[in-house]
Structure 1
Amino acid sequence: MLESVDLISHKQAELAELLDRFSGEDGIHSTAIPSLYCIRSSNVTEPIYRVHEPALCIIAQGAKELILAQESYRYGPSDYLVVSVDLPVSGQIIEASSEAPYLCLRLDFEPNQVVEIIEESGLGTGTTGETKRGLFVSQTNSSLLDAVIRLVRLLETPEDVPALAPLVIREILYRILKGQQGDALKQIAMTGSSAYRIVKVIERIKRNYDQSLRIEELAELVNMSASSLHRHFKDVTAMSPLQYQKQIRLQEARRLLLSESADAADVGFRVGYESPSQFSREYARMFGLPPIGDMKRLRMSGEQQSV
């Protein structure tokens, strides 16, 4: 039975009112629930680069576009976005105004929370062996919106947060696991699955992003052949291990240049590049300008690489 469009729209409006109230002004606002953030923007934005950690994002008003490698994901109030592994992305708010600001919530989660729900509910049975992308957009439904609204409403009674927030968060994750693309979230929690092993490789690359990448060592770490590792890594991240490392390096370089006003060549060496010219070339390919020009642009526009 199809859900009432009016019912969904009513719940989206209720969520928008709550997010507007608890954000108050433009920015990313932490809350009394440590993993929950309220996000508000009265303007469209330039692309902001970041490593997106596992999270659920639900937009109540406005729209956003996320770019992963060469793939574009656009979502708004009728959708929700789930990122199940650490992924280097760029995100841009594409619909927002002072009259109708962009309003979004982000709920961070840990893979072990997903593991516990799967083990207790038996949701791991019947999953396909296919390795899926670690990011997906799916259609919002009233059951998920109900749980999300109850979570945000807990901010009205902070004394209830310690007891009730963990229960509602479990329900939210359970609803996602039961959704049409639940397998894409389940895969990171299934010990021995290809995606589970790719998460280990991602952790190693992130930890040692400034060091030379040795595919054979990574493959041995997770008991895969080099070709199998490459294939499954691309299934999860939309890029090769080398491309993933390059994005991590360049994002970290940009952060260092912004925060420390450091010399570009020195930053290039610090993130693992041996050649300043190669660093400048790849930096310009990713961000549109070489390091010095990019820093001038960012400081003139006042843009910050916040998450």
Structure 2
Amino acid sequence: MGSLAELMQSYVDLKSLNDFDGVTSTSIRGVHFYRDSQGNTRQPLVYQSGIIAIGQGYKRIYLGDQSVRYGAGDYVVVGVPMPLECEAFPEDGLPIMGISINVAPKTLHNLVNQLADQPLHQENEYSKSQAALNLGLKSECVNEALDECFKRLLLVLHDEVDSKVLGASIVEEIIYRVLMGKHGHVLFDLAKHDGHYARIAKVLDRLHADYANQITVESLAEQANMSLSGFHRAFRQVTTETPLQYLKKVRLNKAKELIVSEGKRASDAAILVGYTSPSQFSREFKRHFNATPKSLAG
């Protein structure tokens, strides 16, 4: 079958992606392919939630005072969208390549419900220590069963019919394998509607959808059905940020995307992401990215 890196390169050849750098959708819903021949120095960005597997090269991500390194043979579970800093490194002159898989709530809940009556050591261990909430992002070595799943996923991506017929079932198996892994609790807790982690996750969904609108911490706490102090504490446990810090980073990263990828003027981008003061936007943008909006414009 070949290694995961070999299958990824075969996919790149098939799809004529040898000159492509970035993230692209695949024929399987919720599965994206990533390729980067240059890498990057440490810079802020927002990691979307899901499962990320690297076939070649490596990355280091920083969240607060903690860091996670992952590369070929590793995967990362991102429970909620996380504003963090990341640096990426190609190795031996070969590009970084990876795949990311969105975890659909319906699929996750179906799997968790099927496992509800099973003696899950991972969940039991997690329930003993709320410290696991302190980092909504975990790295783990790919075991043999999961490695085989990732390889089958790459194989079916080579054929449109295979992707359509087999893709969803392989994605479901990958989510199951991750649930049963060392850091499966990250996904288990997302499925617990009344748990703090799941409540904060829903609040984050709102922040990423409504970032351009006026949002108060009080309204977020009300949505989570938590007291203001309890909401602040739970939010920091999950994201390491205050709600307003998190919102600011979401807005700034979206503004950067509008300026760099869509060619928007800084003043227009500021308004589109919810800023009312252009000078405040420019000041916070420069502090966050260590660069002015104008310097990043194409």
Normalised by the length of structure 2, the TM-score is: 0.85
Cα distance, 1:225 vs structure 2: 0.8
Partner deviation per Cα, 1:138-187 (whole Å, 9 max, x = no partner): 12211110111112111344323333222221111111111111111211
Q: Using a 3 Å threshold, how does the CA distance of structure 1 residues 160 and 281 change in structure 2: closer, same or farther?
A: same
Q: Does 1:35 align with 2:24?
A: no
Asked whether the equivalents of residues 41 and 96 of structure 1 are also in contact (C-alpha less than 8 Å), the reply is no
Find the aligned partners of 1:204 and 1:261 in 2 and give their Cα distance. Answer: 26
Could you tell which deviates more after superposition, 38-47 or 212-221? 38-47
Q: Does 1:119 align with 2:108?
A: no
Give the aligned CA root-mean-square deviation in angstroms.
2.4
Find the aligned partners of 1:168 and 1:89 in 2 and give their Cα distance. Answer: 29
Structure 1 match to 2:90: 95
Q: Using a 3 Å threshold, how does the CA distance of structure 1 residues 21 and 192 change in structure 2: closer, same or farther?
A: same
Find the aligned partners of 1:69 and 1:172 in 2 and give their Cα distance. Answer: 29
Q: Using a 3 Å threshold, how does the CA distance of structure 1 residues 48 and 285 change in structure 2: closer, same or farther?
A: closer
Cα distance, 1:250 vs structure 2: 0.7
Q: Does 1:72 align with 2:61?
A: no
Give % identity. Answer: 32
Cα distance, 1:264 vs structure 2: 2.5
Asked whether the equivalents of residues 44 and 96 of structure 1 are also in contact (C-alpha less than 8 Å), the reply is no
Cα distance, 1:75 vs structure 2: 0.6
Find the aligned partners of 2:33 and 2:176 in 1 and give their Cα distance. Answer: 21
| Counterpart selection for 1:22 from 11, 27, 31 | 11
Q: Does 1:291 align with 2:264?
A: no
Structure 2 match to 1:110: 104
**Aligned ranges for residues 62-211 of structure 1 at < 5 Å?**
62-98=57-93, 100-122=94-116, 126=124, 128=127, 130=130, 132=133, 133-211=135-213
Find the aligned partners of 2:77 and 2:55 in 1 and give their Cα distance. Answer: 15
Asked whether the equivalents of residues 19 and 39 of structure 1 are also in contact (C-alpha less than 8 Å), the reply is no
Partner deviation per Cα, 1:86-107 (whole Å, 9 max, x = no partner): 2233433223353x33221222
In structure 1, runs of 5+ residues without a counterpart are 1-10, 300-307
Tell me, what secondary structure is at the counterpart of 1:66? strand
In structure 2, runs of 5+ residues without a counterpart are none
Tell me, what secondary structure is at the counterpart of 1:40? strand
Tell me, what secondary structure is at the counterpart of 2:230? helix
Partner deviation per Cα, 1:282-301 (whole Å, 9 max, x = no partner): 10111102222333xxx3xx
